[in-house]
Structure 1
């Protein structure tokens, strides 16, 4: 059985701001923190400490620069405890405001202590739903603090407006909600329902341009501002069917799983009040058996063209006469070019845009009403190129569009393209590409440091004695050596007729150039990562078909009331598209 023994919260300076013990006798914060900090960065979320008595497993998360630590000396489920820590951070943020600040936690310790007491009872995780916690714990308010300071009764309903009487203590309402994740007596002046589908891309491309893996991890964020207890039905669709596209789905406890099993793509639920995560899923964009087919691994395979992502890049290395240059080419997919004002075409499937909130548009990223399912918009395009440690500087950076951010000694360079440049490239259709060419500079070798050209100043490496009392060995003529360079003693100071100058014979130019090319080959980047954001488009093709309110099962909404509905799509790739070279 999972057991949470205590909770310690530290600020960004590792000062203890809250200590709450649930059960047992856990190690104190002064003992636990040094043992946790003894592990080098990056520290894992679970650390085993055998030096304590008894041995302890420490669970940790960091949110808004605050460190949450929970020790456990018995056999426990790590994922459950980590999820509990995330729920605690979210609950404190919901009651005290975002972001989490150490001063707020210290000023409202009474509220935080009530939250922790409701969320965990004697080490057993209990109530973690924010809506249910609103009925049990009274949120702080400005009026409550003002009345308390002047000595007047400060009982007041919470900020969220639970509808409780000011004389009714929290948690003692006779009409408690039968739904544990929803507050009682919810009232809203404007009834609204919003669905936000957000997907993050994780794509790996081989040096030949063939995709090795491509996944889209999606989340369905739902915002419910409806009075009473609404009962909703959300239907999703995707090319090929939801059951064949979506894998590893996870749901909020409000979703009726039997309905999903009978009809994949259909979710029936009573939502919590406010914003919450309704479901999550994963989509394999290449298919589960992609690597099992030999045809997909052959050169010239069309799998890369079938991969539906709006932008890719490739890196060419060892360019130039000495192999000291590399080129990054950003290619925008021609599938997302403007289709003209005559009809909006969905960029994900090539069909007329459908779903809630869809409107006719002009194409991808172009037009007056972009960022919708009919006219998606790409922005925040960034190409990051990691550089080897041997790179001392980049002598030349020549982008065809956008700007490059790099300082000598940085581990990577960033190439940013503003939205206006992306829109201009998309208008080119098949030629929607931009290039960046750079020259690397490595460490100086011995030939560059000591062996100069005919016009270089070469310092003599001979040793001179300047003893005034007479030297044991005759000193060379300093004036002649200073004017004419180093002297060759074996040549009698005559040299080759040019003032006694003697130089070491330079190596073969071809051999020197080949050596330089070999050293520059070690300075070339091995990969590049692409980041972008697309509003109004999903890589998986998942769309909201309908969102309906079941009036027969709903309570307290009122006859004839139809909530306003809205849907948004967003695809984000934070260094998610990696191209190897």
Structure 2
């Protein structure tokens, strides 16, 4: 079992904010920080420091520009210590709010100190669930801060309050209330990750599945890799202790689609192993991450298809919302390029089905998902704002005649920048989709421009010429009778330049200035690349406690696909 010896937190200027020792006599933060900073960036999460006495393993994470360090002088489980640091950052964000700032930690040190004491007991990790910590440590509030500032008793936990007796002697010798959690007498929850005595006026449950799409395309448009990383976020606002069953479905079966699944501790793993696709769990109160997974969209046989296929039709195909292609070395001198965006007409956001009643833009859930009819639903997925990012070589000095065909979007570039940003709004995407006449014809937009390098700048500014310079050896007669003889043609003329060689040289120089790739960023509501769907979400009335007879929680589901410069086409 891993032992946590100490925790050090530093701000963005490497100023110490907090130093909390749990076990042993670890090296101080002033000793560990220079040793950590001496390593070149990017610094690994685990650094071995043989110069300390004893030799130390230093674990580190960076959250919102705050540095978290945890030293260990004994053999430990590295992943457990790193997970502990992430849990500390998540708990502080839950209590103090995101983003996590140094000023928040300094102004709420009493709460932070109690949280750290509850999370680790004698160096052993004990409680890291935010729901369970809510029963032990009260969150800071404006009223508690005001009462504490004027010296009145407050329910805010204080690390200075005595922990052995419920009362301490005040200034006059009489007993004064102990500063501590107001709910200390309450019974603890039988479920470690859920608060006790949870009560909600409106019982609701929401499932949000978000998948991050990552696709790499070859210059011919053939997919080289296509991975979707999914996260199932669950929001439970249900009274008592509900026992839920979430059933996931996918074409071809969940077990064949999902790989590398990870689950929240509340999920019963035996149920998933026996019946893949069914998640049985008692949820924490509020919003949490229920599960994560990875899906290979090309399938396990994609590598064999790449090596054995001879026709384009036999290669794996993808049905993604948008792809991009880059065409370079165009024009007479090879200095022009064109970026072509192709949109899938399936993602128009239009559907003929009537919209169901829903809350917060989510599709309703009964025994199955009701068909949605509005934009951004499972039956009418819609593309949100799109951005095409085109990186440029460092030798490019400027882009001339940057234009977008048919006025679709706004392309921006500053001379000397490293990339071109082409943004298309959702309204412009809808207009582009409406121009489709079937078969995807018309669902495309183009961006073109001309690259200018250092050589072209010299030609425009200093009269530089690629042609060879030849010196004439002709003589002139300056006699008065032939005053204009110096204007006559010389006896020997320069050698004419080879224009074909000059053009080829110029094309080779411009080829180096061409963009080598383009990436697409977008989000699609109501669609997942993996095809995973929520079939049902049921409450087990026999196992649930405190929900109340006849109470049926509202159920909602939402799908979202996100690409952050992850759909890349190379050229």
After TM superposition, the score normalised by the length of structure 2 is: 0.85
Residue 184 of structure 1 is matched in structure 2 by: 196
Q: Are 1:256 and 2:268 matched, yes or no?
A: yes
Q: Could you tell me how far 1:573 is from its partner in structure 2? A: 0.5
Q: 1:261 to 1:510 in 2, by over 3 A?
A: same
Decide whether the 8 Å contact of 1:338 with 1:426 is kept in 2. no
**Structure 1 counterpart SS, 2:399:** strand
Q: Which runs of 5+ in 2 are unaligned?
A: 159-177, 356-362, 479-483
Decide whether the 8 Å contact of 2:365 with 2:537 is kept in 1. no
Q: Are 1:435 and 2:467 matched, yes or no?
A: no
Q: Are 1:387 and 2:419 matched, yes or no?
A: no
Residue 64 of structure 1 is matched in structure 2 by: 64
Residue 43 of structure 2 is matched in structure 1 by: 43
The 5-angstrom pairing of residues 123-162 of structure 1 reads 123-155=123-155
Q: Could you tell me how far 1:263 is from its partner in structure 2? A: 1.2
**Structure 2 counterpart SS, 1:334:** coil
Distance in 2 separating the partners of 1:394 and 1:291: 39
Distance in 2 separating the partners of 1:117 and 1:279: 28
Decide whether the 8 Å contact of 1:296 with 1:303 is kept in 2. no
Correspondent of 1:497 among 486, 511, 516: 486
Decide whether the 8 Å contact of 1:537 with 1:569 is kept in 2. yes
Q: Could you tell me how far 1:338 is from its partner in structure 2? A: 6.5
Distance in 1 separating the partners of 2:514 and 2:247: 49
Q: 1:14 to 1:298 in 2, by over 3 A?
A: farther
Decide whether the 8 Å contact of 1:132 with 1:182 is kept in 2. yes
Decide whether the 8 Å contact of 2:213 with 2:228 is kept in 1. yes
Correspondent of 1:518 among 502, 508, 517: 508
Tell which deviates more after alignment, 406-415 or 52-61. Answer: 52-61
**Structure 1 counterpart SS, 2:454:** coil
Correspondent of 2:297 among 285, 291, 302: 285
The 5-angstrom pairing of residues 115-130 of structure 1 reads 115-130=115-130
**Structure 1 counterpart SS, 2:542:** coil
Instruction: Summarize deviations over 1:324-348 as a string: whole Å, max 9, x none.
Output: 111111101133346653679xxxx
Q: 1:413 to 1:353 in 2, by over 3 A?
A: farther
Instruction: Summarize deviations over 1:343-374 as a string: whole Å, max 9, x none.
Output: 79xxxxxxx9998664442xxxxxxx312222
**Structure 1 counterpart SS, 2:423:** strand
Residue 334 of structure 1 is matched in structure 2 by: 345
Decide whether the 8 Å contact of 2:364 with 2:555 is kept in 1. no
Instruction: Summarize deviations over 1:187-206 as a string: whole Å, max 9, x none.
Output: 11111111100000111111
Q: Could you tell me how far 1:316 is from its partner in structure 2? A: 0.9
**Structure 2 counterpart SS, 1:291:** helix
**Structure 1 counterpart SS, 2:508:** helix
Q: Could you tell me how far 1:69 is from its partner in structure 2? A: 1.9
Q: Could you tell me how far 1:116 is from its partner in structure 2? A: 1.1
Residue 562 of structure 2 is matched in structure 1 by: 572
Distance in 1 separating the partners of 2:354 and 2:235: 31
Q: Could you tell me how far 1:241 is from its partner in structure 2? A: 1.4
Q: Could you tell me how far 1:147 is from its partner in structure 2? A: 2.4
Q: Could you tell me how far 1:319 is from its partner in structure 2? A: 0.8
Q: 1:496 to 1:336 in 2, by over 3 A?
A: farther
Decide whether the 8 Å contact of 1:295 with 1:301 is kept in 2. no
Q: Are 1:226 and 2:238 matched, yes or no?
A: yes
After TM superposition, the score normalised by the length of structure 1 is: 0.84
Instruction: Summarize deviations over 1:550-581 as a string: whole Å, max 9, x none.
Output: 11111111111111111110000101111111
Q: Could you tell me how far 1:383 is from its partner in structure 2? A: 1.0
Q: 1:410 to 1:55 in 2, by over 3 A?
A: farther
Q: 1:537 to 1:353 in 2, by over 3 A?
A: farther
Q: 1:353 to 1:490 in 2, by over 3 A?
A: farther
Q: Which runs of 5+ in 1 are unaligned?
A: 159-165, 345-351, 362-368, 454-460, 462-486
Q: 1:170 to 1:83 in 2, by over 3 A?
A: farther
Q: 1:450 to 1:97 in 2, by over 3 A?
A: closer
Q: Are 1:546 and 2:558 matched, yes or no?
A: no
Decide whether the 8 Å contact of 1:226 with 1:557 is kept in 2. yes
Q: 1:518 to 1:88 in 2, by over 3 A?
A: same
Residue 106 of structure 1 is matched in structure 2 by: 106
Distance in 2 separating the partners of 1:293 and 1:435: 31
Q: 1:292 to 1:452 in 2, by over 3 A?
A: closer
Q: Could you tell me how far 1:24 is from its partner in structure 2? A: 2.8
Decide whether the 8 Å contact of 1:136 with 1:170 is kept in 2. no
